[in-house]
Amino acid sequence: MTVTGILSALIVGLIIGALGRLVVPGRQNIPIWLTMVIGVVAALLGTVIARAVGVADTRGMDWTELLFQVVLAAIGVALVVGAAGRRGITR
């Protein structure tokens, strides 16, 4: 993977993670690096699911793929916040 590919993945991960945080109600006490990791994982899984369903390669913007990614990021953020809250862990 090239440096450009890595930077692109991090930027997309940050955006997808931030969108996932926006969808989850309430305040999330997790660090930005964890949001980025959740976003990168959600972006990769969302793309895999979209390709499996057959909606990843469409003309124009792939809104369904983006929806899969944001939903997965929201689920990831909610799980991490729930696990951290149960343990009393903050930043």
Task: Note down pLDDT in tens along the chain; length 91 residues.
Answer: 577 777 777 788 888 888 888 888 877 788 888 888 898 898 889 888 988 998 877 787 788 888 898 999 999 988 988 887 655 555 5
Q: What is the pLDDT of residue 48?
A: 87
Asked whether 30 and 83 are in contact (CB, 8 A), the reply is: no
Residue 50, pLDDT score = 86
Instruction: Give the whole-angstrom CA distance, residue 18 versus residue 70.
Output: 9
Q: Can you give the length of the chain in residues?
A: 91
Closest C-alpha among 82, 80, 88, 87 to residue 31: 80
Quick one: pLDDT at residue 87?
56
Which residue do the tokens 């994982």 mark?
41
What pLDDT, on the 0 to 100 scale, is given for residue 31? 87
- Please state the three-class secondary structure of 46-91 as a single string: HHHHHHHHCCCCCCCCCHHHHHHHHHHHHHHHHHHHHHHHHHCCCC
pLDDT attached to residue 52: 92
